Amino acid sequence: MRFEAVRAIYENGLKNNSLWFINGDLGHMKTEEFRRDFGARYINGGMSEQNIIGVSAGLALSGMQVVAYSIVPFITLRCIEQIKIDICDQNLNVIVLGVGGGFAYGSAGATHYSIEELAMLRALPNMKIVCPADPPETYSLMKQVLELGGPAYVRIGRGKEPNLPVQIPAALGKASVLREGGDITIVSQGTIVSEALRAAEILSAEGLEVEVANMHTLKPIDREFLLDRAGKRRGIFTLEEHSVIGGLGSAVAEVLMDSDNRPKKFHSFGVDDFWPETVGSQQYLRDVCNISAEKVAGSISRILAA
């Protein structure tokens, strides 16, 4: 996903002399091309995220568009006040690109996990938030975000995530229905959409008709889609690789609870306000946090039976 995001930036920057790419000391496979073709507009700012965000804002105040890029916790929480004041309060054309959403850096521990940043960034006025699910969607949404402009945050996986089995063209701000089904809807985003699709398969084998929606745009969220489904389904479920506090589940609940069309059953699957005590692969950690396909399918069955 990193490659696709960077390719989108590179292509735009060839045509647009005001696009800058500031990298917080993180490789991306196209370093030589950026050096050659972006010149001064490509900077490795080193390990200084507060400065990188401030410099990005200063460039944007001078009419530039900037993508600031590093590993999620470093380029978001480390410099959250700079994102709040310098970018969002001044409403500037800066796109924060975070690599390694959720447990993508599974063996690295809590320093490298990102299961909190969406809650904080979602609370910032003017901020748009996008979490693509696979490489083609990363390329497409990155292009759309560059077109729309910042303030924006794009959260991607770490490396060579597989393409989803279903490919639907993504439109910023609109949920993509990846699988049809009339009984329940699972709303998901990011690379864990693949688990939502597998959970749907498991539940389908048990006779349940499961719709899976990819809510790649967390903010502004597709209210129309949610309100439409709420009255039509036996249950609405959300699945995210993030804390259950403040992310997709919260955003969906905010929309549904504020409507007359509340679903009969609702549950938000995410990390339940803890850091795993053990480390391991992304798949292992999803299982530990009860957000793997098997765990989610089991929980949904129990909730619907209750």
Partner 1 sequence: MPAAPEKILELKSQAKLTRRKIVEIIYRAKSSHVGSALSAADIITSLYFGGVMRVDPHHPKKEGRDKLVLSKGHAVSAVYATLGFFGFFPIEKLEEYGRDGTKLASHVVLDVLPGLETSNGSGGHGLPLGAGMALAAKQKGEDSRIFVLSGDGEMEEGSVWEALLFAGHHQLSNLTLIIDRNYLQDGMSGLRTNQILDIDPLDEKLRAFRWEVESVNGHDFDELISALENKSDKPRAIIANTLKGKGVSFMENRGEWHGKCPDAEQYEVAIKELS
Q: Cβ neighbours of residue 30 under 8 Å, at least 6 residues apart?
A: 3, 6, 7, 10
Indicate which single residue of 14, 29, 61, 123 sits in contact with partner 1 (rule: CB under 8 A).
61
Q: Mark residues 80-119: x for contact with partner 1 by CB under 8 A, - for none.
A: -xx--xx--xx-----------------------------
Nearer to partner 1, 47 or 110 (CB): 47
Nearer to partner 1, 127 or 288 (CB): 127
Under the criterion CB under 8 A, does residue 59 sit at the interface with partner 1?
A: yes
Paired sense of beta strands 184-188 and 210-214, if any: parallel
Selected range binding partner 1 among 36-44, 134-142, 165-173, 274-282, rule: CB under 8 A: 36-44
Asked if residue 75 lies in contact with residue 47, where contact means CB atoms within 8 angstroms, the answer is: no
Of 44, 139, 146, which is closest to residue 93 (Cα–Cα)? 146
Under the criterion CB under 8 A, does residue 13 sit at the interface with partner 1?
A: no
| Minimum distance of partner 1 from residue 54's CB (angstroms) | 2
- Identify the burial level of 196 via C-beta atoms within 10 angstroms of its C-beta, where 0-12 means exposed, 13-18 middle and 19 or more buried: buried
Indicate which single residue of 11, 12, 25, 58 sits in contact with partner 1 (rule: CB under 8 A).
58
Place of tokens 């929980």: 299
| Minimum distance of partner 1 from residue 112's CB (angstroms) | 21
DSSP string, 164-216: PSS----BTTB-EEEE--SSEEEEE-GGGHHHHHHHHHHHHHTT--EEEEE--
Under the criterion CB under 8 A, does residue 64 sit at the interface with partner 1?
A: yes
Q: Where does this chain bind partner 1 (CB under 8 A)? A: 40-41, 43, 45-46, 48, 50-64, 81-82, 85-86, 89-90
